[in-house]
Amino acid sequence: SSIEALPAILDAVGNDIEVHFDGGIRTGQQILKAIALGAKSTYIGRAFLYGLGAAGEQGVTDVLNILHKELDISMALCGERDILNVGKHNLVNPDVFDR
């Protein structure tokens, strides 16, 4: 999966390039995981399109609100209040990604 490739990509580019993650993000937990692994941000294309197709502008707003709430709750469960403090230490088994 693309999330498994993220650490290797970050190792390859070092601090020279800002890496943004796009690859099946559908929940706030997946956003947290990508950020914890080192991505600077994520994209939510599919979720955005599902919301747009289901309910137009309000559907997109609902999707963004759901993702925000899921991310907020996930961060709270990890003991984090600031997204800038999220890192590999927030993952239960970060070594899974160091293959």
Query: Of 46, 40, 47, which Cα lies nearest the Cα of 66?
Result: 47
Percent of the chain exceeding pLDDT 90 equals: 81
Q: What is the mean pLDDT of the chain?
A: 92
**pLDDT for position 97:** 63
Q: How far apart are CA 68 and CA 99, in angstroms?
A: 30
Q: How far apart are CA 81 and CA 76, in angstroms?
A: 6
Q: How far apart are CA 32 and CA 15, in angstroms?
A: 20
Indicate whether 2 pLDDT > 80: yes
CA 33 centroid distance within chain: 5
Helix, strand, coil % (nearest 5) of the chain? 65, 5, 30
**Band of residue 19 on the pLDDT scale cut at 50, 70, 90:** very high
- pLDDT tens for 44-71 read 989 999 999 999 999 999 999 999 999 9
Q: What is the pTM of this model?
A: 0.88
